Amino acid sequence: MIGLAAGLAWFDFSAYRPFHLGLDLRGGSHLVYEADTSQLSSTSDIKEAMISLRAVIERRINAFGVAEPVIQTESSGFGLEAKQRLIVELPGVTDLKEAVKLIDITPVLEFRVERPDGPEKEEILAAYKEAQTALTEGKPLPNNPLLGQDPEFIPSPLTGRYLKHASVQFAQQSIGPSISIAFDATGAEIFAKLTKENINKRIGIYLDGAPLSAPTVREEIRDGKAEITGDFTLTEARELVRNLNLGALPVPIKLVSTETVGATLGQEALDKGLKAGVIGLIVIATFMILWYRLNGFVAVVSLAIYITLILAIFKLLPVTLTAAGIAGFILSLGIAVDANVLIFERLKEELRASGVGPGPGAHLHDAIRAGFARAWLSIRDSNLSSIISALVLFWFGTSLIKGFALTLAIGIIVSMFTAITITRNLLLAIAPSSKNRWVHFLFGSGLKH
């Protein structure tokens, strides 16, 4: 057991597989985007879009060589009205302009169908005419929500989220380069339906809200392929194709907050967290040894094994350590000791019930086993309630809270193993073959014998 602990300690403090440090400890950029899901009609569509959005952003950032980015989605509210956010953490990137550029250059590709003639279209055109008149006369623009709508086209379900790949091509009827795009299976079905329902009508192709082209549909297109034409130079066409292939955003996003954490500030937070952990460990160890004597020493050894084991788990999973995560780990140290306290108090009761004096060696072993058996139910119930609390925090919390909840939950689970298995086996291994006042003192607790 000691050899295994030594091996884990070497693994924990070796350079092999270093710990994954979060943004607040390593330094970097923290960006929060809000996704516009107003065009999606169901919560399942929103969920799929956010999953796709996360994958697209991660693929784009990885293409620029940013090491270990942390990209998460977050929802606040209920149903279709819930706000959907994308949280991006870029360790080592302290230039906010560079960080924003990695994401903002991703184009939003949309396909819109022709708006039918009718009162709605006439109202929108009238609103734009009124706004144009106001601009001509130098008056402020009227506050009309219709000004934000496209009078010619309306959104369709087909967006860049279904894009499979794009390429530059030179068609004979085209003066400059055009862009050929192909959709995945789902996108091909949607595109086939759109073209079937809009024969002899136009389909507008928009990139980042700007119209690129509006070709007229002549027949149903079933192979999921389309062509984007426009006044492109070869360089522009290649850049657009590269960006589309890196991932077109399934929904528009808007940057709502930014934060930069310097490397010096992150190192300071890390140092303070480690210092707090060491001080807490020393205080706990001193109390356990002074109050519980030999049992306390065994608990400290078990706690040392617990620390090496949990740090190894943090490395292997790997767990991204943040300041909140370190706080959860330090809190789990106290929970680990709490289990030992319950066991030792039960053991003291067993020793008191058996009396003091010489007796068979098995009697002390029986007291140890009985103490563990009686403490197990309390340890199980208290730790189970703490694990449930950690799971709730992880499920509903923000990224900061999730780091705390994850390290706390792992710590509680490992502490149950070390308290019930390692501490128990160590006590049984060192229990003497006879029981006298000296043995009773070593295995007792408090100020009295």
366-390 pLDDT per residue, tens: 878 888 888 888 888 888 999 999 9
Is the per-residue pLDDT at 356 higher than 70? no
Cα angle 353, 420, 281; round to 5: 100
How do the domains of the chain map onto residue ranges? 110-248, 262-442
Query: Among 97-111, 178-192, 283-297, which stretch is predicted with the lowest mean pLDDT?
Result: 97-111
CATH T-level fold of 262-442: Multidrug efflux transporter AcrB transmembrane fold (1.20.1640)
Average pLDDT, the chain: 80
pLDDT digits (tens, 9 = 90+) for 27-42: 788 889 999 888 787 8
Is the per-residue pLDDT at 5 higher than 70? no
Is the per-residue pLDDT at 158 higher than 60? yes
pLDDT for the residue numbered 370: 84
Residue 9 identity (one-letter amino acid): A
pLDDT for the residue numbered 361: 45
Q: Are 412 and 387 in contact (CB under 8 A)?
A: yes
- For the segment 171-196, the average pLDDT, to the nearest whole number, is 84
Q: Which CATH code for domain 110-248?
A: 3.30.1360.200
pLDDT for the residue numbered 65: 64
Residue 204 or residue 355, greater confidence: 204
Q: Are 28 and 70 in contact (CB under 8 A)?
A: no
- For the segment 74-97, the average pLDDT, to the nearest whole number, is 81
pLDDT for the residue numbered 358: 43
Distance CA 8, CA 16 (A): 12
Q: What percentage of the chain reaches a pLDDT higher than 90?
A: 7
pLDDT digits (tens, 9 = 90+) for 267-278: 777 788 778 878
Distance CA 81, CA 73 (A): 16
- Single pTM value for the model: 0.57
- For CA atoms 192, 193, 198, 199, the dihedral sign is positive
